[in-house]
Amino acid sequence: MRAWYTLQTATQLAVSSLRAHKLRSFLTLLGVIIGVSSVVIVGAAIEGLGNYAEETTSKVFGSDSYQIGQLLQRGRLSRRERIDRLKYNHPIRLEDFDYLRQMTGRAVMYSPYRFRAEDLRLGSQLLEATTIIGVSANMAEIRDVNLTDGRFFTDQEERSKTQVAVIGDEVKQYFFPSTSPLGRTVRIAGYDFTIIGVQEKIGNAGGQSQDNSAFIPATVFNRLYGPERTLVLFARARPESGLNLEGALDLTRIALRNRFKARPGKPDNFDTMTPDSIREFIGRIMGLIGAVVVPVTAISLVVGGIVIMNIMLVSVTERTREIGVRKSLGARQSDLMLQFLMEALLLSAIGGLIGLGIGAAVAKVASIASGVRLSVTPFYVGLALFVSSTVGIVSGWYPASRAARMDPVEALRAD
């Protein structure tokens, strides 16, 4: 009961002191507010960008598809490793694509994936650097290509080399902002292509717009730009096969290892990539960013703690006579210690809560403005409040202990 009364008294005295010096208290809070809000905003940005990258990866890569190529994991390899892998790995050629379809085509769907930047024209209008992508008709099923209008091209159109195109949202908005593009033609590499579909808006990936694009049949792409030295293939298990991603990938790897005569116990002499490997890579990048940025941001909380400590030392000096009076009336060292410690803790706690609110509000506004969902996660909320509370306790400990150790006679003599 006495402990509760002591705590209540210390809290009331701390609140009274903060009210008596409103401007000083507010200025002291600013350091903690800025620090906590910075941690929350940076945390929300890291989580939001991670989620956005994963969502975009799913749209660009597909949820259950995988890639096969000579060298796919460029960002994870050093220059020396890339050179060694290029020497060791076989290029994937058109005949390898045909071999895979012949050997495993009943269970796995395959599509070549070739692309080139090309200007698109419609009359006098010009859209520069559009990504022209040559694929098979089953690419829509392999990579979960969702359309907002029209359809994807068919096997018959691919075999007959029909000049049709499925355009991205940016192409549609540029050439046909208020009308349907279906049935209209655009010129690609000097040839007219009939628009038969519009892909849903994807956004950016790797700093590049995924909506300034156009899918055309791979056979037409080969006729326009000639054969490729090495192909990238997209693949996915057929729904009726009962295989999952890992099972389909194993089937493909076994077939290619046999074709390229990979020795038992040796690594694949070709490259593969799955959505999980991309997500893992993105996770590592975001983790690295968090490990660097969050501690730097948290330094502002330390600065806020130093401000609190300085203000508390000033407060102890100003209230020396009050401390002497309280000690002469029977106040114990622990009572004075608790009073000043509670004052510092209240400053950091109030600043932490205000900073949390500001950080969440800024993250919300940024989400609306950027279109990227920035989520304030419990981890970063807990981190910000824990650090701010710790800062309050640590920064208040020395001033509180100094006040508690004062000699009452010397304190009463102070002016």
pLDDT band, residue 221 (cuts 50/70/90)? very high
| pLDDT of 143 | 87
User: Over the stretch 347-360, which tens digit does the pLDDT of each residue have?
Assistant: 777 877 888 888 88
pLDDT above 70: percentage of residues in the chain: 73
| pLDDT of 33 | 81
| pLDDT of 366 | 80
pLDDT (mean) for 172-193: 93
Q: Would strands 208-209 and 213-217 be described as parallel, antiparallel, or unpaired?
A: unpaired
| Alpha-carbon distances of 219 from 98, 132, 162, 224, 370, rounded to whole Å | 14, 13, 9, 9, 39
Q: Are 229 and 69 in contact (CB under 8 A)?
A: no
252 vs 306, which has greater pLDDT? 252
Q: How far apart are CA 239 and CA 326, in angstroms?
A: 81
**pLDDT value at 119 more than 80:** yes
| pLDDT of 206 | 58
**pLDDT value at 205 more than 70:** no
Q: What three-state secondary structure class fits 77?
A: coil
User: Over the stretch 145-181, which tens digit does the pLDDT of each residue have?
Assistant: 889 999 999 999 999 999 999 999 999 999 999 899 9
| pLDDT of 92 | 92
Per the DSSP assignment, residues forming a β-bridge with 191 are: 188
157 vs 391, which has greater pLDDT? 157
| pLDDT of 381 | 75
| pLDDT of 325 | 64
Residue 38's nearest CA partner among 358, 285, 344, 406 is: 358
| Alpha-carbon distances of 220 from 5, 98, 305, rounded to whole Å | 85, 17, 66
The DSSP code for 210 is S
* Choice among 76-90, 248-262, 288-302 with the minimum mean pLDDT: 288-302
| Alpha-carbon distances of 317 from 135, 264, 383, rounded to whole Å | 77, 79, 33
Q: How far apart are CA 98 and CA 112, in angstroms?
A: 10
pLDDT (mean) for 257-264: 90
pLDDT (mean) for 369-375: 72
Q: CA dihedral in degrees (133, 134, 138, 144; nearest 10)?
A: -10
| pLDDT of 107 | 94
Six token digits for residue 392 = 């309050």
Residue 363's nearest CA partner among 351, 343, 377 is: 377
Q: Are 58 and 275 in contact (CB under 8 A)?
A: yes
Residue 110 falls in which region: left (phi positive, over 0), alpha (psi -120 to 50) or beta: beta
**pLDDT value at 58 more than 70:** no
**Distance of alpha carbon 178 from the chain centroid:** 33
pLDDT band, residue 82 (cuts 50/70/90)? confident
Residue 340's nearest CA partner among 280, 399, 386, 385 is: 399
**pLDDT value at 301 more than 60:** yes
| pLDDT of 167 | 95
φ, ψ (nearest 5 deg) of residue 319: -105, 30
Q: Would strands 108-122 and 271-273 be described as parallel, antiparallel, or unpaired?
A: unpaired
Q: Are 199 and 166 in contact (CB under 8 A)?
A: yes
